Structure 1
């Protein structure tokens, strides 16, 4: 039997189980990327892949080490492209 101060509310129990189970509400799951990509998507992915690299060492020498790293680096799991 339940304790006298406890009240069971069935509508709260139902809402707890109906919450979305995705990792993030803002981003779609990764399974939405088709295996057969269009040419435009493939071009965009290729450009983002080229941009996602460290800066060359000679840039550090040319700028007297004021630019030390690429501030726009992107990790494949943490930051998604959104297309």
Structure 2
């Protein structure tokens, strides 16, 4: 990844960074909840974004 990025590339990286977080605890506490974890979690070493 170059240090001089285009704005669109930087936007995509920022969105990926925001999405890559665990689900909030209050969502797990809702009644009849089946979501236990974020299935779309991504590790920087294991999988690439393709940007």
TM-score by length of 1: 0.58
Structure showing greater radius of gyration is 1
Q: What is the alpha-carbon distance in structure 2 between the residues aligned to residue 68 and residue 49 of structure 1?
A: 20
Mapped pair 1:74 → 2:31: no
Q: What is the alpha-carbon distance in structure 2 between the residues aligned to residue 81 and residue 42 of structure 1?
A: 12
- Secondary structure at the aligned position of 2:29 is classed as helix
Q: What is the alpha-carbon distance in structure 2 between the residues aligned to residue 63 and residue 78 of structure 1?
A: 34
Q: What is the alpha-carbon distance in structure 2 between the residues aligned to residue 39 and residue 73 of structure 1?
A: 24
Q: What is aligned with 2:17?
A: 49
Instruction: List gaps (5 residues or longer) in structure 2.
Output: none
RMSD over aligned CA atoms reads: 1.1
- Among 41, 44, 60, the residue aligned to 2:28: 60
Q: What is the alpha-carbon distance in structure 2 between the residues aligned to residue 45 and residue 80 of structure 1?
A: 11
Instruction: List gaps (5 residues or longer) in structure 1.
Output: 1-32
Tell me the number of residue pairs that the alignment of Structure 1 and Structure 2 aligns.
51
TM-score by length of 2: 0.91
